[in-house]
Each structure stands twice: as structure tokens, then as C-alpha cells.
Structure 1
Amino acid sequence: MSTDFRLPDLGEGLTEAEIVQWLVAPGETVALNQTLAEVETAKAIVELPSPYEGVVAALHAGAGDTVAVGAPLIAFDLEGEETPETPSDEGTAAAPAAAEPATQANLVGYGAAPTSGSRPARRARRSGGTETPSVDTAVLEAAPHDVLPTGPVETVQGERPRSTPPVRAHAKRLGVDLVLVAAEVGDRPITRADVDAYAERVSPAVAHPEKAAAPAAVDGERETRIPIRGVRKHTAEAMVASAFTAPHVTCFHTVDVTETMELIASLREDRALSGHRIGPLVVIAKAVCLALGRTPGLNARWDAEAGEIVQHHYVDLGIAAATERGLIVPNIRDADRMSLIGLADALTALTETARSGRTSPSDLAGGTFSITNIGVFGIDAGTPILPPGQSGILAVGAVRPQPWVHRGELAVRQVMTLSLSFDHRVVDGAEGARFLKDVADILQQPGRAILMA
């Protein structure tokens, strides 16, 4: 008898998830809490641990399929579910023995059950002795393998090769099986370069698609159709809802940030701070937190159902991050309570987590105000769209040397443009202007932060 494991609620109101890749296959014995698959929600890539110990009976969906929360995901044959009748000493059939309940793990938000055994090692282990090397077919069938090995590969056991989500996504795009790459690189984590090297050796056309022949025209047209799913789908829906719900107003202010840049340079030269990455965005984040304390309307949301404006007495600061999966806005919780160094460390951790694809859905929800750094792309100004549920977002432009009137004389100064979009239902023009000026004043003269602290 098989038991279905249904896609659990992954939190934050998410209703579906796309299967990125299966890490198990039918017929494979699975341990409690062993990772079954990687699924991509509208906000993050999530690993699903097994809630059972048993044998995989069937996979109800394939890689690339979208599964609704509550829909069957995988079927298990569980040990101890049924016990055959045993003849008694008198030759009569005895009552079936009580089946031991299958060990089941916690589901969301997961975590090993107290009685769970040790999780299989993530590290790939090579077979020893003089046996002929072979590939574990169960693992191979559970992952994309459009590119096949050209020579013998050692048996790989264990949960799955060690790599980051972006590397796994890159391998999937090239059709490279990470199990085969792991057999070559050993126990260390697989990098993007390892994947590229494998693809280059096995199939140069796959490794360099830009050098391949151009696709043949179909009915005189050349086009590529990209499914709208995951983060891009969620972002599109959120932006449309925000743009056509909140009346956006954007105002701009260009400011001399020379003193801020000099402060950052001096902090970077301080050996005591060498372990912290302090850049312009960190100082801007601190300035925003201070300015929000003086203009609370920007740190609020419009609650249409309750007919109320909800002002937050804390700042969960969203930082827009461009990743391989699309634009995400993870939050720094209670950013207003952090020092400049604390913000620097939090921003570093947030960025590294986002780039690796490990940002959790909970870290992408509940922000109260956001910053988007368009300056890293060489852009000076823009009209950012509000994240749903927020009343303000600040776009930070590039820092450029420009002629500027400084103390009555023309000089070359470091200049930046700030673009503030706000919800005009919550914030009027005067309050938005005051907030923008407060941020600009701190960036122009960082010492003014003392007056606002």
C-alpha cells in the first residue's frame, strides 16, 4: 500500500511551486528527512525533506511541472504498513500484528523529528575496492542528464552532489548531470566552472550555445518563448497590482555626497573595521532609517479592508536584489535598531544569501520600506514601483563626479540622484519631500545624523 506525500504549505500564502529537480527516483529507499526535491516558489528555492522512511513508489509530477499546495507530490511504500497473517500453533490464522506507525518528520517549517535518525551525508562517496565503476541509475534518473558521460564513472552514493542552487540551475540549463561532475571533482562542492568544463569536454555546442548554428526560421519568424513562472511571475503580478492600486508619486533630489564618500574611504582604511563591508548603500540605509523616524508616514501601509493606515514602529528594510531567478526584495529585520556596522554585516549576509538562491520565503515578506540600488547599473534616476503593502521605495542612482557649486565656487564634487516613489493615499507631497531632504542632508553632511539619532 502506498502513501502520498502532498506538497505542503511553504508559507506566506504561496499556493503553488515548480519542481526544479528530483533528487530521488522510483524504487529508491529514502531515509527520514532526506531531501526529496528542490522546488521553486514565487519567492525562493526550497528543499523538501522526506516525511517518511520507505521506498519511493511513484513521482506524481516531473521536473518543470507546477504543483498546487495540497496536491500529491510523491508516493511511498512504507515499511510496517501491513503485516501478513501468521499461522498459530493450533493451525488457525492469528490476528494481524499491529503495524508500527511509520516514522514521520515535521513538515512546514520542517526540521528533523526528535526521533529521526542521522541524515545521509551530503558528500558523495566513491566506491572502493576493485569493482568495476558504474553509475547509480536511481540517482541519474532523478536529475537532468541530457549530456551523457563519455567514459566510465565511479558509483556515487549519498544524498546528492554538493553545490549551490545557481550552480544546479546552470547545470540544468546545459543538461549536465551533477552526479557525473561530482565523480570527477571529488568531495568538494561543485562550482559553475566545473559544470562548464564538463559541458565543454562532452558537448562544446551545449557549453557555448552562442557559437552554435542559428535556429532555422519557422514561418519566417525567429522567436524564443519563455514560460512565465516562479519569481518572474510573482514579481509581474505584484507590480501590476501595486501600479494599479496605489497612486504613485515620484520626486527626485540630486545631492552632493562627497563627504559621505570621504567618510566611507576613511572607514575602509580603519583596520579595526576590515572585516566589515561598508559602502554607500550601507550609509544610505542608515540615513533612511533615521529619516523614517521623523516621517512615519513613509513607514506605513494602507489597509483597505480595515479602512485604516497602519504605521509601523519598526523598520524592516527591503533591499532589492537582482538574481539569476529574477528580482527579489529580502528584508533586514529591525534595521532601525542596528548600528552602521550592524547594517553593513546584515546587508552583506542578505546579498550573499540572495545570490546563492537560499533566501527563504519568510525573508521576502513583511517589509515596511525598500531601497533599490539602480546606480550599480550606471543609472542616475528612475521611477520605482512600490512593493505591495509598502508606502515608499527609494531608488539610489550612480555616484558621479560633476561640476557643482560648493561654498560659492565651482568645483568637481561627487554627486548622486535620489528618486523617491510613495503612495499618495498615505503620504502627501510635503511629507515625502521632508523625508527625501532628511536623507539628502545626511548624505551631504554625515555628521547631521547625530541630530536625528
Structure 2
Amino acid sequence: MTAVEQRFREFKMPDVGEGLTEAEILKWFVAPGDTVTDGQVVCEVETAKAAVELPIPFDGVVHELRFDEGTTVDVGTPIISVDTDPGAGEAAPQAAPAAGEAVAEAPAAAPESEEKEGRQANLVGYGAAPASTKRRPRKPLPSAQRSAPAPSAAAPAPQAPAPAPAPARPEAAPELNGSGRPARPLAKPPVRKLAKDLGIDLETVTPSGADGIITREDVHAAAEAVQAARETPVAAPATAPTAPQGRERRVPVKGVRKATAQAMVNSAFTAPHVTEFVTVDVTRTMKLVSELKQDPELAGLRVNPLLLVAKALLVAIRRNPDINATWDEGNQEIVYKDYVNLGIAAATPRGLIVPNIKDADAKTLPELASALGELVGTAREGRTSPAEMSGGTITITNVGVFGIDAGTPIINPGESAILAFGAVKLQPWVHKGEVKPRQVTTLALSFDHRLVDGELGSKVLADVAAVLERPKRLITWA
């Protein structure tokens, strides 16, 4: 590694989750020329699980932002370069000197430059040539400026072997195919990514950049041409319906929505789902919710029916612990878990996410209420971390907030069951031998039939219903 490479450090896209492979840059908080310090947040990225702010792990001055906002970048790819020794750039020449000039000037600057180069040599492990020119920062000059010696009538015969003119870069003379175009289209990685996202074959794009390089504008122009061709009717009957321009929107599937879609497909076609339903009178539970809202010990906490549904499910799991498990396909094992990380499905502007409350089974009702409030608030702000969405064991989805009575929820991958809580409605109900208006809801439990049979699934659902019908069981069954 040279001294220049040590000076200009690159910050690579980290894996901010568990095995994530890419992230989209949502927003830059810095620009070239800005000073950054160790731990300072430089950008916000969206992974397949959450939006995350990235802090940089060293000090310096921003030299280059490698990607634009909205670009999806693979983990491990450099996204920003930082000049960690900006003062060194003041002595650097503004333009690459000619070879003869560099050799002639070297003796005059020897004392200071040798001392400085000597320090760099100690870092990199080899000596610097006394007459060598200084390297410029990573942003390269054109090859002609970088390697060709400048003509000078006054320059004597070279005192040291002068470097031969560098051969033309491959980009300057690419291999051509039969049509006279480069055999492989020339484009930078962000442009190739853009073309992939828009479904554009770079072979069909006419380059406008120097040396036949395809630019972002070229890709956008090709995409507009393709879209225009699609919207142009071709020999269609006079009565054939056509989609009016501007009445459809296309949004790339990425980030949370892409990950959710893939997870749901994998779950639906891997785990054999079974869904059972029960309708239950929750009048007493709703009365208890009203009372708890007045309890001083729960002042300022989020108290709602979902809190008691969560507590009822935890009680049911304690009575039927085998429901809290996962199927290990690789080892052909069922993994039973002695802890409950309770997931709560949350709808956010970025899509559906399922953060979970760690060790929910060990929490008191006030602690559970506090954790539930923090989880929902963080999710709405879009600040849920990947760690908060990893390691869940069982999930609740509250479809009742949308006025839905019931559904057949898909199991969160890696879990064995998910409970859907429907809307609570006032309905006629037989109570103590008489038809009375009661508050009623429907519960639906989907479970993985590979490890949960009908008996176990039915017992868990029945226990949840029993607790919600008579919430005093929270005490007697705890």
C-alpha cells in the first residue's frame, strides 16, 4: 500500500444486518470537501430490513462520494473516500510535471521531501526513489498527462532512465466486435446498475461519453425510447383499449418490500400452512383495558387491546411450549426455544416489517406495555434496526385496526406460528342464556404443520381465546 493509498481511505458499504447483500443509499449528509470525524453519520441507507444511519470510522475530509442517492450498492463496495491527511495536499503540484522537470527539481527539494518520503517509507516498508515524482490523489489524470514526457528543447540527455510512454489504456482502444462497437459495453458500475434496474441491455445503448463510455443520460434516453415504443399502438383494432399516458406508475421493487415479498413466497411455498379460527366474547377484556388505562402504574404507557392479546398469547405459549419452535431444514431438526421473542407486524410507509420484543415472556405487564410502545413508535419513524427484526419466534398481526374481521396470515420465516387479531365489534351474543350485545372478535392462528399438529395448534388458539374471554386467567394460569 502506497502513502497515497494510506492517505485516501475508503469506507465500504457494511453488512448492517445478518447476511444482507445490498443496501440503497437514501441520503447523503456530507459532500466533497466536508470535514468528518470518527463516528459521524455520513449517510442513511435502506436495507432489506430497515433504514440505517452509517457512521464513518475515521477522521478526514470527504474526497469523493462514489454513488448518487437512490443507488443500490452491494455490501463491501466502497461508497466514499476520505482524505485522512488533507494538509499533505497543499504541497502537491496542481498539474502533473514533465519527467525532465521532476528530475531537475528533485535535488533542490531533497532535504524536506526526503524527510517526508522517509516517514512514508517506514509506513509502507520500502524506500521512496529520490527522483520520483509525487503521486497525485486517487482521482487519475488522463493517461496522456499521467505518463507522456513533456517535450523540452532545454532538457539534456536523461540522467536516469526515463520511463517510456505508457501504452494506451484499454478503455482508449477497446476490443471491437464485427459492427465496430466495443465487444463489451463500457460503463461504470453505477451506470450498469441503473441499466439493470431499468431493464435496459447496454448492448443496445448508444454511448455519448468520451472513448465510447455509456453515461447515465444514455441509459435514461434508452429507457424513454423503450417506454415510448411500448405506449405506441401497433396495428391494434380501432376498439382495442389503450392505457392513457400518465395513468400508470411503475415503482422498482426493492428494500423492505422486496425482502418481504421474497420472504412471503419462501414461507408460503416451504412451510405447509394450516389456519384455524375462533370467535370470542372479549367484553371483559375491553373493560379491563379501560381500567388499566386509569392505573397509576401504567400511566404514560401504551395500553390497548393488543397488549392483552400479547399477554394472552404468552400465557398460551407457557402452557403449550412446543408451539415456540422452528424447523431446521438443513439439519432435519425441530429447534424448541425456551424464550419468546414476540414479533409485532407493523405497516410502515416503506412496507411491512416485523420487529420483535426480546424475551417478552419474562416481562411484566408494564414492561410489556413499554416495550410495545417503543416498538410501534420506532417502526412508524422508520428507525427500526435490523437487530430488532431478527430472531423472532412467534408473531401477532393486528388486522383489526383496519376494520378486518379475520384473515389467513402467512408465517414469518423461521417461526412456527402467527396469530391474527381481528376487529372488536359490538354483536348480538348469547350470554348467560340471553341474547345481549357483546364485544366480539375473531382470532386466526396459522401454524407450520411440519412441527405443529392440529391438536397443539388448537390448544394454543383455545387458550388465547379463553384468557381474552375471562382475563382473570392471566392471574390463575400465570
Query: TM-score, length-normalised on structure 2?
Result: 0.67
Of the three residues 420, 424, 429, the one matched with 1:404 is 429
Please tell me whether the aligned partners of residues 248 and 422 of structure 1 are also in contact (alpha carbons under 8 angstroms): yes
| Aligned pairs (5 A) from 1:198-217 | none
Matched, 1:248 2:273: yes
Matched, 1:388 2:394: no
Change in Cα spacing, 1:100 to 1:418, as seen in structure 2 (3 Å) is farther
SS of the aligned residue for 1:297 comes to helix
| Aligned pairs (5 A) from 1:359-370 | 359-370=384-395
C-alpha separation between the residues in 2 aligned to 1:277 and 1:371? 17
Of the three residues 437, 451, 455, the one matched with 1:430 is 455
C-alpha separation between the residues in 2 aligned to 1:53 and 1:45? 24
Please tell me whether the aligned partners of residues 297 and 366 of structure 2 are also in contact (alpha carbons under 8 angstroms): no
- Give the match for residue 129 of structure 1: none
* Deviations, residues 114-145 of structure 1 (Å, cap 9, x unaligned): xxxxxxxxxxxxxxxxxxxxxxxxxxxxxxxx
Look up the equivalent residue of 2:315 and give its one-letter code. L
Look up the equivalent residue of 2:395 and give its one-letter code. S
C-alpha separation between the residues in 2 aligned to 1:394 and 1:446? 18
Matched, 1:58 2:64: yes
Of the three residues 114, 117, 126, the one matched with 1:96 is 117
For the pair shown, which has the larger CA radius of gyration, 1 or 2?
2
Look up the equivalent residue of 1:372 and give its one-letter code. T
SS of the aligned residue for 1:96 comes to helix
Please tell me whether the aligned partners of residues 61 and 86 of structure 2 are also in contact (alpha carbons under 8 angstroms): no
Q: CA RMSD in A?
A: 2.5
Look up the equivalent residue of 1:442 and give its one-letter code. V
Change in Cα spacing, 1:50 to 1:392, as seen in structure 2 (3 Å) is same
Query: TM-score, length-normalised on structure 1?
Result: 0.71
* Deviations, residues 273-292 of structure 1 (Å, cap 9, x unaligned): 32222111000111101101
- Give the match for residue 149 of structure 1: none
Report the Cα offset of residue 38 of structure 1: 0.6
Matched, 1:69 2:63: no
* Deviations, residues 368-394 of structure 1 (Å, cap 9, x unaligned): 000000000000000000000000000
Please tell me whether the aligned partners of residues 60 and 86 of structure 2 are also in contact (alpha carbons under 8 angstroms): no
- Give the match for residue 43 of structure 1: 49
C-alpha separation between the residues in 2 aligned to 1:101 and 1:276? 60
**Count of aligned positions:** 339
Please tell me whether the aligned partners of residues 87 and 93 of structure 1 are also in contact (alpha carbons under 8 angstroms): no
Report the Cα offset of residue 451 of structure 1: 2.8
* Deviations, residues 354-410 of structure 1 (Å, cap 9, x unaligned): 111111100001100000000000000000000000000000000000000111111
Matched, 1:372 2:397: yes
- Give the match for residue 213 of structure 1: none
Report the Cα offset of residue 266 of structure 1: 1.4
- Give the match for residue 353 of structure 1: 378
- Give the match for residue 290 of structure 1: 315
Change in Cα spacing, 1:100 to 1:24, as seen in structure 2 (3 Å) is farther
Matched, 1:266 2:291: yes
Matched, 1:329 2:354: yes
Please tell me whether the aligned partners of residues 81 and 101 of structure 1 are also in contact (alpha carbons under 8 angstroms): no
Matched, 1:301 2:326: yes
